[in-house]
Structure 1
Amino acid sequence: MTHIVSSALKDYPTTRAILTLGGLDGRPLNKDYLYYIDWLEDVMRILDEDFIMMLWNSWNNRNNFVFCGKEDKAWVIWDRARTHCHDFWIHNLVNNSVLPLTPAIKKWEKPLCESMKINIDATVFNNKTSFGVIIHDSDGFVLGGGGGFKDEEMIMEWTELYAFEEGLKLARSLIIANSIFETDCASLMNRFKKRKDDITIIGHCIKETYKTLEMFTTAYVKWDNRSCNNVADFMCKYAILNNSNMLFGMNYPKEIHDIVIRDSFN
């Protein structure tokens, strides 16, 4: 949903005009972002609470154009958004910014003693879907990992589930007892938490996948910031750009050495 809304806004001429009126410089408008959520964060840091009002008014304006054939001028939409913000300006004075002006730097953390952390990630590029997995012990040393791809384009939650299943396979092959699985996909985490009430096809698949976790002595699934998932993210991109399917043990490829060291000994 985030991808649909943000792409509809970012690539819509009227919205670009509104953002320019709001004082947005050309970088967030013209820069290519691999993930639309990164574009949203950049814009929100500049416009802060004005962005929420702009988002609603711009989306409402586009719906009016699609369904009613009516569209307001960019300056009218921006003025309306600013007026709404002014109505709540006391709230804005006593509350912190939606996002901090200086983003907090989050780092990968070592798992608890005797636990193994399995970081997973997935991406879609050029009609291909890839996954990345990296497994660390409680001292931060790499036990194994890998990356792979298939010639199939999938929607976000299915790609992340695909990566999760590959991570499960690798963890089981290493006979890991206590595991912590980490993903940066919030929507997949929400589906895991609500799996008992999920009657969709992907919900059924998640229930079946979740049964595999019972084979571990302990197993947890957690969400973490994408900045804590650097190695798995790199393996995704490496696999898809090099048409590579690879698994490795403690002798991991030299391409990820610097990232592993930076994450493990920060």
Structure 2
Amino acid sequence: MAQMIEWSGSITSMASTPLSPPIRGFFSNMWVLDFSRDCPKCGASVETLVHALKDRQTARTILTLGVLDGRLLNKDYPYCIDWIEDVICFLDKKVVVDFITTLSDSWNNRNNYVFRGKEEEARVIWDRAKLFPLCRTVKINFDVIVFNNKTCFGVIVCNSNGFVLGGGGDFKEEDMAVEWAELYAFEEGFKIVRSLNIASAIFETNCASLVNKVKNHKEDITII
């Protein structure tokens, strides 16, 4: 179950709801999962996750428009996590925010093609990813996964309509206790909020113990 911490200059109140499936699913799939069926667009024999996000023609065009370094586009990666790690190591953190935004919109575009038979042009997706509509309150979803002795975290910033405003991610070459990993992602979420000049935010996590410690047990957590 997800815990939500509302922030407006300082942490003020908290509630809990299930994690948003599209947001949580996006990061969970990004780090560890592969597909096991043909690509519905280009007919590749096996559509892996790295193919869907990097090698598929529309996805590659979107990333090229974003001026992603050719070394990160042309190198073959057996797993998506390896590609994401290289991107995070190579790019400046501010650029990683734009990269995650673009990647999320590209993923949504693929799903629109699979489930609705509609796909937008790469330029349209890129232009949308560069627009940051103003909003008073945003939702910050952060999650952590420990995989192959590495701790990976991701942060996505959405407005009230679910539009992705930004995001980021990082990894450490070590196993971390869950609470420490969640706290690390929480801190990175704060940095992203400040970089986007957001005055009010709701942080969403599935780590109840972290919420309890942040709130100093001053308010009850309601599980829905």
Greater helix proportion: 1
Q: TM-score range by the shorter chain?
A: 0.3 to 0.5
Greater strand proportion: 2
With normalisation by structure 2, the TM-score equals 0.38
With normalisation by structure 1, the TM-score equals 0.32
